[in-house]
Chain A
Amino acid sequence: MASFIQLLVSGLATGAIYALIAVGFTLLWQTSQTINFAQGEFVMLPAFFVLAAMNFGAPFWLAALIAIALSIAILGVVFKLIIVDPMLKHGVLPLVISTIALSLFLKEGAKDFYSSQAQPFPALVPAIDLHVFGAVVSMQSLVVLAVAIITVVGLHLLLNQTRLGRMMQATAQNATLARILGIPVRRMVLYTFLINGVLVAIASILISPIYLAKFTNGETLGIAAFLAAIIGGFNQVRGAILGGIILGVLDNLSAAYVSSQYRAAFPLIILIVVILWRPQGLLGRVEERTV
């Protein structure tokens, strides 16, 4: 029983990360039809911004802020203006290929310009372990969970309780109508990119102490983001969270109880099942298709 709880707790911690990444992914998809195949690398990169800033002498808290700012600027603004906007008018496929190429670009960039070796990353909290219901969980994991929850709740409040948030939701649901209603659609879309920039930077700073900063970190995280987003439900932020948590826990449970060689298969099978039988995801709303 203790093992099961341990797996559950570890899975929740991992799932919280997936949720954070999936939320940003969902936002981009919703408001601008951008399927960002580089989302995993977006999470890998800010850690290197932090390390680079610290190499120049900045203390950790300052380096983290710089990384968030750079993330917003480069992974938010530059990404939108230089890659997404020009591509989008040609259809989704060129954009898909561009984001795939971008993920390779960012990965190789981190490897060539920083290091191919894994780098230790400063932890946010001391490495204390807590015993919870017979399972051991590190303080770092709890912080991850807490920050992820706060972020997501904050985002939820932003989207639902503020005027800005409701404008963004309107843009996501029907851009044309939103434009007619006077909502500055382009700016709303830009805001989602900026929010994604913040989210991936936070995720990066949270996971790098555990995962170590390495240029290959993005590979599994990217796939996890899509899986979580789709399983949970593409058009609801809540869906992304549920998807992330399901993914984290499922991965651990299947690795321990079923087969470690096929651990990667279970999320994929769930994905296929969800897409075929409930494409809107577990919590999503059915999208109408105009003919």
Chain B
Amino acid sequence: MTAHRRIDASKVGEVTVVRFIDKKILDEASIQELGAELFGLVEQLNRKSILLNFSDVEFLSSAALGKLITLDRKVKSAKGRLKMSNIRPEILEVFQITKLNKVFDIRGDEAEAIAAFQ
């Protein structure tokens, strides 16, 4: 696995499960790095099934939302699938306010999300 500083990526069957190193995703430089690492999963490593597990994430800013949107587009254009899970209520509210819950495939927990890839 490529060295990552902002994410921890592991494989569960065919699904690449990503956890976030930062509890608060708000620093602009970290968000740039996070974006590059996430995009690398699709563009360099050709991962087709990606699950973002947000269980460690307490806070994220709109700049981070931008990276998630771009990731979603990259995955879709590579004919892959992106899902998200374990999002705490405050962050889910952010997705609902911005209506990104209509764009992203959001599942309750990791097991449910992995099952949904089958």
Q: A and B from one assembly?
A: no
Hey, which bits of chain B sit against chain A, CB under 8 A?
none
Hey, which bits of chain A sit against chain B, CB under 8 A?
none
